[in-house]
Amino acid sequence: MVVLHRWSSLVLGLVLLVVTTSGAILLYQPEYFRATHHDFYRHTPSAHPVTADQAVDIVRRAHPDFPATWVNSDHGIYEVGGPDYNAMYGVDPGTGEITGLAHRNGGSFGFLANLHECALNCADYPGYIPQLAEPFPTLGISWLRELTWGGVILGVLGLLLLLLALTGIATWWPGLRRLSQAFRIRTGRGRFARDYDLHRVVGAVAVPFLLMWAVTGAAFEFPVVEKSWLAITGGSGPDEHRYQFTAAPAAQGTPEITLAQASAAALDRVPGRVTRATLPTEQTPYYGLNIARSYDPYAHEMFRGDGYVYVDAHDARHVKVASGGPQPAANAFYDRYLEPAHFGWQVNGWWRIIWAAFGLSPLLLAVTGVSTWLIRRRSRKAKKAAARRHETARAAARRRGPTAGPGLTTAKSKPTRSTKPTRPTERARSTEPDPPTDPARPPGTAPA
């Protein structure tokens, strides 16, 4: 178990470290975007603000070439965006004025999002690498269909994090009797003891977050992980077609219902507040509406609401609830608590510091893990070198004859044995290993 934990982390640990560290930074992407686009989010209080429908019309009249396909309510303004979910115009509801044009996926945070969420295979983000967007061979495995090389990389890293978390907790577990000693950090016993204890304690404390990120991260790419989780926890298999909707055929010239009518139809099925709406197109003649309920696990994200409802653009009675309807308790826990916890957007920025701290814990685990491995490696080399020197001296003594030098046993001498019984010391009873000894170091001196 220890060997598996050590070598799996050494082989793929650097790539995993890049993904986890970038994820810790991305926890604050919404706050960073709003802070760097202050003018975009300016708004004016009004007793008669414009509606979402009117905000879309304002953008379409001002920019007829812009393909407005969605509208979102965020921090006092309406965002009207295009199909790439990158470029978007802001509309002040109080005045009906356009506050500016912004790009969600640009800059350094766009690159980090591409790295963490797509493994650099998202074409609309900085750092795109076309080769990573190529389809991955299915190898006869059904759940590998439609996966890219980048997606497989992320899924494998999620499984690796799961492996490291499980093997780490297995090697750390001291038993119930010694549990109180398992959280002790020896600061006065040298670098090895300190780093070894830090690695164990930090890993044990962070393991709930690491397991959550591992399961949800792998499930984003490999649906079989979510199915396995739900099967273990007593849930039902997720509906693979729940985010698919087919509008009913409409007669030529049938007018589309308004966004307000579609919102009313959706709220009849899932009570709450409509936060975002995708608009009908020729290819998709229906509305898709995000609904924030009393508890919203995405309350601090740019696109809020975990409920999702489809409404036919020509028939408000044709509705499908994709998310937000009745479901088994295990499925509801996964959809409303476990999966959203991956992002930490159910809490404000101050509470999200906890997510950031645990998100950076793999960095500390990597440093302490490499440190203890190098010390062990150096100690083993020193012991082997000392053993070779000792064997060389013995061979030289045998060649010189029966007269031995100081410290060597001759053929006529007998080894002495102390008859005084030994008593186990506190160090011998301790469960933690002592720092590796250096045979080349004189007794009584401190390690380097």
- Closest to 161 measured CA to CA, from 110, 219, 232: 219
Span 10-60, pLDDT tens digits? 666 788 888 899 999 999 999 999 999 999 999 999 999 999 999 999 999
N-terminal to C-terminal alpha carbon distance within the chain: 30
User: Residue 441 — very low, low, confident or very high, per pLDDT cuts 50/70/90?
Assistant: very low
Count, residues in the chain: 448
Rounded-to-integer distance, Cα 182 and Cα 199, Å: 11
Per-residue model confidence as pLDDT tens digits over 379-433: 999 999 999 999 999 888 888 876 545 544 544 445 555 445 545 444 444 445 5
pTM: 0.79
Tokens 């190529």, residue located:
134
The C-alpha atoms of residue 58 and residue 98 are separated, in whole angstroms, by 8
Do β-strands 77-81 and 273-278 pair in parallel, antiparallel, or remain unpaired?
unpaired
Report d(CA 73, CA 91) in Å as an integer.
10
**Geometric angle at alpha carbon 111, from 107 and 114, rounded to 5°:** 140
For residue 226, how many C-alpha atoms fall within 13 Å in the half-sphere facing its CB?
21
Tell me how far apart the alpha carbons of residues 115 and 144 are, in angstroms, rounded to a whole number. Answer: 21
Residue 218 has pLDDT above 50, yes or no: yes
- Is 311 in a helix, a strand, or coil? strand
pLDDT for position 1 = 67
What are the sequence ranges of the domains in the chain?
1-133, 146-233+360-396, 259-359
- Is residue 44 a contact partner of residue 196, using CB atoms and an 8 Å limit? no
Which helix (H) or strand (E) is 101 found in, with range? Answer: strand 98-103
Cβ-Cβ contacts under 8 Å for 173 (sequence gap 6 or more):
182
